[in-house]
Structure 1
Amino acid sequence: MTATEQDAGGGSTTNRVVIDPVSRIEGHLRVEVEVSGGTVSKAWSSATLFRGIEKILAGRDPRDAPLITQRLCGVCTYVHQLCSVRAIENAIGTLVPDNACLVRNLTLGAQFMHDHIVHFYHLHGLDWVDITSALSANAGATEALAHSVSPDADPIDFAAVKSRLQGMVDTGNLGPFANAYWGHSDYKLSPEENLLVTAHYLSALDLQIVAARMMAILGGKNPHPQSTIVGGVTCGGELSPDRLATFRTYLEQTRRFVDTVYMPDLKVVAARYPEWVDIGGFTNFLACGEFPQVPDGGLFMPAGVILNGDILNVQPLNEAAITEHVARSWYSGTSDLHPLNGETNPAFTGLDVNDRYSWFKAPRYDGAAMEVGPLARVLIGYGLGKPEFVTVVQNFLLDTGLSEADLISTLGRTAARALETVIVGNGMVSWLDQLENNLQSGDKAIYWDYAMISDSGRGFLEAPRGALGHWIDIDNSTTSRYQMVVPTTWNLGPRSVDSVDASKSIPGPMEQALVGVPVADPANPVEILRVIHSFDPCIACGVHVIDVDQDKTYDVKVI
């Protein structure tokens, strides 16, 4: 689909191209990008599917909310259930046993490890890896390369992998490797490096099953684990020594993959794409904290706020400063509201990037757009001097020659997921030890009873993609109001109106991060995809490219 409009400067026509669909993300998104002088000059992010789950929950038993909100997404299969349970527990003032807290941490930790591995290899990896180049690789040289970058990794028959790829090409059945921008000038890995990471792409397909099985042991099934309920968890029968030993086996298998495959591959990508430490960055970060520690009640991942890239000056998070703006969204009204007072009243007016253009609301913190997700959490943990974060980050910086400031970029956003996978994996070992020790000492409590009362509550949770919040009003054992602020809304929300000057607007984090991104060929905009995928959006995406210099229409399919 194409459209034209008059350029406001001189009346000349410019061409807009719909690039659709973007794969390797979840859901429905439209991103419009204007390219001028070979770089992105403007960007608009439009969610094109109305959610409405808040309307569905009104009038129902509050305990329905965890099961219904969990079905928002089959990718982050656990996060909404746990966040919703926390909101209800906060409203009614109930606590949970230590064992229940540990089980929840382990289940969520497994979700993190599964999600980040899938993201790097199966969602984001092909933005950096040229599969066709791998076909010219020397298998023996690739084996030597693999040993040099990770001597402890399991051996792979690279000749067999190359033959498998060649067979896919010869039959025309490329499967997940079809319709990409192979041969693009901005692919920088050598043929052997491309074959190495491609082989690990295939290995990760098997490894993600292992991580999913961890979740299934404690959650009853995957996707959509079902053992977390208000008051605790229900998986008492699964907390046997044998089942927990199996969980530990899966955990160690996953951690080994992270240490010997994922991290080394990340360092290969970082070495070949050093310019991407200057592309796609954003400087405001927010995290609500995660993984409550027992018995002290602290958070393994700290909450905090970083403004203007000042990494070593982490501010405390003030929940009251969170508001959602709708002046540029397809909802009635123009006021910004705290989620506890939020409204979901759809009012579609048609797509107009100069007015309303998204079903997303625009979350803001004290009026500022904020990036959430792995990079926010890693920088906040590092900035606060948490040893679990400092050690992993400094080792990576030493190994790559990068600086702290380099992390505020597309490459840093990609790296943070791997760093966080190491950090979470280390934490899971400790939580599993704690759980086993509690059970062996006779503490088997996993649930405490409660009374449903009328009140308001909120649940915060760090999902793999970022900060998540659920707010609930309970009236006479019924949900009277429910609101959610999800990670991708923070990162990919539309513009908001400036509270000081209503004539100005504040673009969302990804809209700002896209500005300045170089685009060598608007017909093959792999550079734009790198930025989009680095945020790991949980929506499907159509990207529109405008080249105001070439005055040319591009018919593009994005993969």
Structure 2
Amino acid sequence: MSERIVVDPVTRIEGHLRIEAEVKDGKIVDAWSAGTMVRGLEIILRGRDPRDAWAFCERVCGVCTTVHALASVRSVEDALDIKVPANAELIRNIMFCTQYMHDHVVHFYHLHALDWVDVVSALKADPVATSALAQKLSKYPKSSPNYFSELQKRLTKFVESGQLGIFANGYWGHPAFKLPPEANLMAVAHYLEALEWQKEIVKIHTIFGGKNPHPNYLVGGVPCAINLDEANAINAERLAFVGQTLQRAKEFIEQVYIPDVLAVAPFYLDWAGIGGGLENYLVYGDLPTNGFADVKSFKFPRGAILGRNLNEVHPVDPKDDQDGIKEFIDHSWYEYSKQGGLHPWDGETSLKYSGPKPPYEHLDVDKKYSWLKTPRWKGHAMEVGPLSRMLVGYAAGNDDIKGAVTDALGALKAPPSVLFSTLGRTAARAIESQLAAKWGLEFFNTLLANLKAGDTRTFTREKWEPSTWPKMAKGVGCTEAPRGALAHWIVIGDQKIANYQLVVPSTWNASPRDGRGQRSAYEASLIGTPVHDPHQPLEIIRTIHSFDPCLACAVHLYEDKKEIARHELLVK
């Protein structure tokens, strides 16, 4: 006999996600993923100056702000054939790497670690043994017995008061937790350390972009002037701070994050066979080293893998392949003016859906059950994200990625096949953080070399004035958000935005089935997952969190009649 489990909302994520799973004989046999907010950002953008789109797009989310702005300005630059100066590309790359480090560390410690770490178990730990474990793993200075003893006392006060504070409502004591008390105490300590660390690294965004979490961007370059001797510009002092912050971030990742992942993983190797899901992986690529037009220069290679075949990387062309990427709405609460999937340049977003409203006791999964559209690449359901980037980079023979993946697998004494799993997805994110730390410093040193050689340009006015634009133009801005392949598609007509569509990572991963019944990544990854207690579905949360869900960029408005009515009134 089967049982339907409902997890709504899925917590420790950005946005609103509902998961329903059918469990039979202790395992999930079917699953459905539903975005429970309605999308409308594309409607807001119509008729606006395309050079302003980034400021709206960036605010679809409080997490992935930088990459949405980047994709937006690139879409306009692509449409108008604007080439940005080398320094602007380098600064964008530095901000990109900064966000990767920040986002991945925050995800592991504050959004995902509590799926593996039993906080209450840390009360039983021996601080001396915890110190010995920490010092064995790395040379991070905060690892003395007294340090862990004081932390344990603070945690004990939380528990004795009946209030775990930030650690409340966990499934503590669940048999799926396997770490010894000392490893749990060390992880809790680093959870708190990461809270302090993450406040510092984002200062790089405030230097180059003026603020965080929504730094400024600019079509044609970056909005910061560089003058090494000018107090009101990006000067030598501010650049030195950026370099020091990048170096400290690299040290934290190498001395805390990576050792923690390697310490936790051996206790959960059974999860190397759980949560694999789809066998197809898509990457747009990013971090250009010779201008964005030179795709072969990307640090993250572009391509697709089908059927987990690492011997072949299929070419991906988001711009010229009109039949490559299409969005479907067979199970989405939207209406199209015509049948079938639509390429994003022809995409439609309408809030005037006349069908049945969401039934929230159980989703009517035979009909429409999500506010997310369903994107497909050449008809295939694709997973996007860190695992996809590491697999495509590995298969493409990228030296940095192949070396980092090989080193991680060697440390775990595991074959490459473990990557196709919940555990592999989590490990891929850590490996990628290490690469971002390395590459961020490389881009910074190249920027310094350019400045020393006298090149301080960060912006071009070429084709900036609307009077120089063609009557109609189309563009696509591609990037790799921390959560996966991201593209903004723009159509410019008479100097205004005629159409704008975002196809975001969570649309790929969290979307409902397509018309052929193909599951997307979240749904596919849950099939076969063991569930010990339907009332404490920790196992579901583990796999879904391994994708680092972020629904805010996939859906943009609450599905509430008053909210929709007010929005429709504003856009008429």
TM-score, normalised with respect to structure 2: 0.89
Shift of 1:345: 2.2
Specify the alignment match of 1:253 in structure 2: 248
Which has the larger displacement, 330-339 or 385-394?
A: 330-339
In 2, distance between residues paired with 1:249 and 1:462? Answer: 25
Letter in 2 for 1:307: L
> Contact 1:35 / 1:41 at 8 angstroms: preserved in 2?
yes
In 1, distance between residues paired with 2:148 and 2:524? Answer: 41
Per-residue CA deviation, residues 79-116 of structure 1 (Å, 9 max, x unaligned), is: 11110000000001111000000000001111110000
For residues 258-297 of structure 1, what are the structure 2 equivalents within 5 Å? Answer: 258-281=253-276, 282-294=278-290, 297=294
> Contact 2:5 / 2:21 at 8 angstroms: preserved in 1?
no
1:240 aligned to which of 232, 235, 239 = 235
Structure 1 residue 507 corresponds to structure 2 residue 503: no
Which has the larger displacement, 150-159 or 229-238?
A: 150-159
Structure 1 residue 163 corresponds to structure 2 residue 153: yes
Secondary structure of the equivalent of 1:457?
strand
Specify the alignment match of 2:171 in structure 1: 181
Secondary structure of the equivalent of 1:290?
coil
Unaligned runs of 5+ in 2: 227-232, 359-363, 553-572
Shift of 1:239: 3.0
Letter in 2 for 1:190: P
Specify the alignment match of 1:384 in structure 2: 396
1:446 aligned to which of 442, 452, 458 = 458
> Contact 2:71 / 2:479 at 8 angstroms: preserved in 1?
yes
Per-residue CA deviation, residues 100-148 of structure 1 (Å, 9 max, x unaligned), is: 0000000111111000000000000000000010000000000011111
Per-residue CA deviation, residues 300-329 of structure 1 (Å, 9 max, x unaligned), is: 111010111112321111322111111111
Letter in 2 for 1:305: A
1:322 aligned to which of 321, 325, 328 = 325
Shift of 1:173: 2.7
Higher strand share: 1
Letter in 2 for 1:98: A
Specify the alignment match of 1:355 in structure 2: 367
In 2, distance between residues paired with 1:170 and 1:43? Answer: 39
In 1, distance between residues paired with 2:275 and 2:141? Answer: 32
For residues 37-52 of structure 1, what are the structure 2 equivalents within 5 Å? Answer: 37-52=25-40
For residues 134-533 of structure 1, what are the structure 2 equivalents within 5 Å? Answer: 134-156=122-144, 157-226=147-216, 228-237=217-226, 238-281=233-276, 282-294=278-290, 297=294, 298-319=297-318, 320=321, 321-333=324-336, 334-346=339-351, 347=353, 348-351=355-358, 352-451=364-463, 452=466, 453=469, 454-498=472-516, 505-533=517-545
Shift of 1:257: 0.7
Specify the alignment match of 1:80 in structure 2: 68
> Contact 1:153 / 1:261 at 8 angstroms: preserved in 2?
no
In 2, distance between residues paired with 1:409 and 1:153? Answer: 33
In 1, distance between residues paired with 2:485 and 2:45? Answer: 21
> Contact 2:400 / 2:435 at 8 angstroms: preserved in 1?
yes
Structure 1 residue 101 corresponds to structure 2 residue 86: no
Per-residue CA deviation, residues 41-97 of structure 1 (Å, 9 max, x unaligned), is: 110101110121001101111122100011100111211111000000000111100
Change (3 A) 1:153 1:367: farther
In 2, distance between residues paired with 1:70 and 1:186? Answer: 38
> Contact 1:350 / 1:357 at 8 angstroms: preserved in 2?
no
In 2, distance between residues paired with 1:305 and 1:115? Answer: 24
In 2, distance between residues paired with 1:426 and 1:411? Answer: 23
> Contact 2:3 / 2:24 at 8 angstroms: preserved in 1?
no
In 1, distance between residues paired with 2:317 and 2:458? Answer: 31
Secondary structure of the equivalent of 1:524?
coil
Shift of 1:440: 1.0
In 1, distance between residues paired with 2:377 and 2:141? Answer: 43
In 1, distance between residues paired with 2:105 and 2:291? Answer: 30
In 2, distance between residues paired with 1:533 and 1:24? Answer: 8
Unaligned runs of 5+ in 1: 1-11, 499-504, 541-559
Which has the larger displacement, 84-93 or 167-176?
A: 167-176
Letter in 2 for 1:529: I
Change (3 A) 1:509 1:20: closer
Secondary structure of the equivalent of 1:456?
strand
In 1, distance between residues paired with 2:392 and 2:19? Answer: 29
Specify the alignment match of 2:556 in structure 1: none
Per-residue CA deviation, residues 513-554 of structure 1 (Å, 9 max, x unaligned), is: 1000000111111010001100111138xxxxxxxxxxxxxx
The structure whose RCO (Cα within 8 Å, separation 6+) is larger is: 1
Secondary structure of the equivalent of 2:8?
strand
Secondary structure of the equivalent of 1:135?
helix
Shift of 1:175: 1.6
> Contact 2:5 / 2:23 at 8 angstroms: preserved in 1?
no
Letter in 2 for 1:290: D
Specify the alignment match of 1:544 in structure 2: none
In 2, distance between residues paired with 1:405 and 1:349? Answer: 43
Change (3 A) 1:20 1:100: same
Shift of 1:377: 0.4
> Contact 2:26 / 2:530 at 8 angstroms: preserved in 1?
yes
Specify the alignment match of 2:563 in structure 1: none
Percent of paired sites with the same residue: 46
Letter in 1 for 2:515: V
Per-residue CA deviation, residues 175-234 of structure 1 (Å, 9 max, x unaligned), is: 2100110000010000001001111001000111122112211111101001x2011012
In 1, distance between residues paired with 2:127 and 2:255? Answer: 19
Change (3 A) 1:20 1:328: closer
Which has the larger displacement, 377-386 or 445-454?
A: 445-454
> Contact 1:350 / 1:356 at 8 angstroms: preserved in 2?
no
Letter in 2 for 1:201: Y
Aligned residues: 521
Letter in 2 for 1:326: I
Letter in 1 for 2:442: S
Change (3 A) 1:357 1:152: same
Which has the larger displacement, 247-256 or 531-540?
A: 531-540
Per-residue CA deviation, residues 452-475 of structure 1 (Å, 9 max, x unaligned), is: 323111100100011101011111
Secondary structure of the equivalent of 2:275?
coil
> Contact 1:129 / 1:189 at 8 angstroms: preserved in 2?
yes
Letter in 2 for 1:411: L
Shift of 1:17: 4.8
Shift of 1:152: 4.5
Letter in 2 for 1:512: A
